[in-house]
Amino acid sequence: MTKTFSPKMNENKDKKIAIIASRFNDFITSRLVEGASGKLIEFGVSSKNIFIYWVPGSLEIPIMAQKIIKKIKPDALIAAGAVIRGETDHYNIVINESAKGVSGVSLATDTPILNAILTCDNIDQAVARSGVKAGNKGAEVAQATLELLSVIDQLK
C-alpha cells in the first residue's frame, strides 16, 4: 500500500520564517514582501515570528541567509528579489549566481529556502508578478514554504 504525505496547513503558529528582500527594484520587492508576510499570517504564522531583512541586491541574499540561519535558526527562509533584464549580460550573472547561492545555502544548512527572486524581461512582467495581474509570487512562495514545512514535519 502506498503511503502519501500531503501538507496540513493548520500547524503554523510556532513556525519562524525569515524573509530576505533585495532593495534593488524595491518598488517590486516590497510588494513581494507584503504578499509573503500577509500569506504567512493568513495561514497562522504569528507576526512576531516573521523576520524581514533587507539587503542591497539579490546577490547578497545567500550570504544573509547563511548568517540568519546561524543567528535565529528559522524553520525556513524566503528569498525575495526582482532582477529585470537590461542591456548587458549582468542579468544572467545575477539570476544564476543568486539562485545557485540560495540553493547551496539551503542544502548546506538543511534549511528550506524558497526562491521568490523574480527574473523578468521587463518592468511590466515584474509588476504583473508582484500582485497586479499574475498574482503575487511572494504570497505563492510563502504558501509553498508552509506546505513544504508541513511535509517535512511529517517525516519526523
* All structural domains of the chain with their residue ranges: 17-155
Fold of the domain spanning 17-155: Rossmann fold (3.40.50)
Q: What is the mean pLDDT of residues 7-13?
A: 82
pTM across the whole model: 0.95
The closest of 10, 14, 30 to 22, measured between CA atoms, is: 30
Compute the distance between CA of residue 111 and CA of residue 73 in angstroms, rounded to an integer: 9
Active site residues: 90
- pLDDT tens for each residue of 44-88: 999 999 999 999 999 999 999 999 999 999 999 999 999 999 888
